[in-house]
Structure 1
Amino acid sequence: MLKAVIVDDEKPAIDILKIFLEKTGQVAVINTFQNPKKALNEIEKLKPDVVFLDVEMCGMSGIEVASNISLMDHNSEIVFVTAYDRYALQAFKVNALAYLLKPVLEKDINKTVKRLMKVCGELPMKQEVKLQARIQCFGEFEVYSNLSGQPLKWRTSKSKELMAYFFENRGIPISKWKLCEVLWPEGNQDKIDINLHTTIYKMKKTLRNSNIDVDVKFVNKAYVMNMKGVYSDLDEFDSLVEDKIVISDSNINKYEKAFSLYTNNYFEEDDYYWSIDLKEVYLQKFIRISKNLADFYIEKHNYDRAIIVIKKGMKISPLEEDLHETLLYIYVLTNDRISFLNHYDSLLELFTEELGIEPRNTLKGMYKKMVSNCG
């Protein structure tokens, strides 16, 4: 008999799910919670085999609850039950066993319980995967060996790029033609097959020499890479950041952590043309976090912290006008005329002399108001 906990802020959803689960005769619902924070405190004591989680809840998201559960000594399986399909990728990044959409159907519960019985039956005490490597994606792409703690030295730049591309597409089948197009877009077609096989060999040998177990299989004319025991700053960032970034007292710690993880843009130091789209996606997330964090600190009158956040944001994205406007606004709030005028002058030089455009009207208005106050 599996021990289960249900966490959902809607009581009717809990009642229906409980009925379906107990009807299987293989699951005992030992507790239910409408408050996710209270659930977290109790789950560590209850040590359930499985936790059924809603995603969007007041106070704390299901993704955040699952991330915290993964840090506990007792490993519980996670099953998400939600009305939204847009969180599926985040859900599986926190190792969810299943992702069910509301309204939940009895047949889906029966299927999920069969999977749970198989997993929990084969692994009564789920073994913790030993960390083999750490992967850095923000800034320069690096793979660090857990043995030495040092970044791997790749035999060729192409073997490193291949690893980066595999990591970006981990778990996704990639045809050999796509790999060749990515690595040798203008290469000699006669040698491409040989180059690919040689590069895969060199990549795998570099990883194997550092005791990093990366499974690369060729199935149905496509390569698939799967990784176990690997930490990455990108995965942690994704686990912390929700689609809709709203920062509050209840989640400020996780957004501060995400902000600190973003040391530079995705693969910033690597000239990988294929990473441009994802680089822009993460940059826009970082900008929103920077702006929202600063707004949060301004509301708390913690202006020093807000300035630190904004200046880091501008260092990474110097042309983002929203960040400049927020910084100038802080100087207005703190009546720091000298800092305001100095920054506005540097902003004016950046925009007019280097880009040939003028700052937006709201910035000009702030400048005129500050100058008139000086007079």
Structure 2
Amino acid sequence: MNFLAIDDDPLCLDDLRLTLAEAAPDCCCACFSSPAQALAYAQTHPIDAAFLDIEMGDVSGLALAKQLKDLQPDLHVIFVTGYEKYAVSAFALHASGYLLKPVDTDELKRELTFLYGDIPAPHAIRVQTFGGFEVWVNGAPLAFSRAKAKELFACLIDRRGAGLTTREACSLLWEDGVYNIARKNYFQTIVHDLRSTLRQAGIEHILVKSHNSISVRADEFDCDSYRFLDGEPQAVNSYRHNYLPSYSWAEFSVGKMEGL
């Protein structure tokens, strides 16, 4: 689902963003403190629901709602305000919902369930590449027994489903190392260790191993950099030039990402 959140108070906007992320973890939420910027965004991006403050300086959320509905008649408008007095006016505009600040996660879930039915559960596997490489399975951090196994998994995430040969993997994991039988054998130990780690977590299925290639099933997990490359506003806004900072081989991908 694609959401739009607009509030001229940065703290309230951030609180709404976090509440939306808790209520609908797989949603894509574009947040704006400027109504004009939000309106420009709505001209080129599909929106399922817009969450609007009502009092925003010189701009009325009620007027903005009408402009958004003119652009996208099917979108739902949910007003988020600190005042009950606007409820009649809001529903006169056929608003889908009316929430009082601070927004409670359960109340927001009820509102979304009323509009869309049950909200899909988030991915069981979540991968973080911005600010450091970490993996969570059902909310628990995945512990790697070898640093090289963790780095290999980061390499595979970076490939986004493309295969990585043994020689390519060794050149990335040991940049100055000699590629020989001993290195190949040690690499197989790393692969075995990675598979064991994933198996213990119940997610070995995301690893694809062929004769001389290894890859991941990129559609089996949520990844911040994948969402960034897909243009998701929340992921784009969270990027701070910090993609896999611990691994020098990631610099090539950084160049591609920042050239977008």
TM-score, normalized by length of structure 1?
Answer: 0.35
Give the greater-gyration-radius structure (CA).
1
Q: Which has the higher contact order (CA 8 A, sep 6+)?
A: 2
Higher strand share: 2
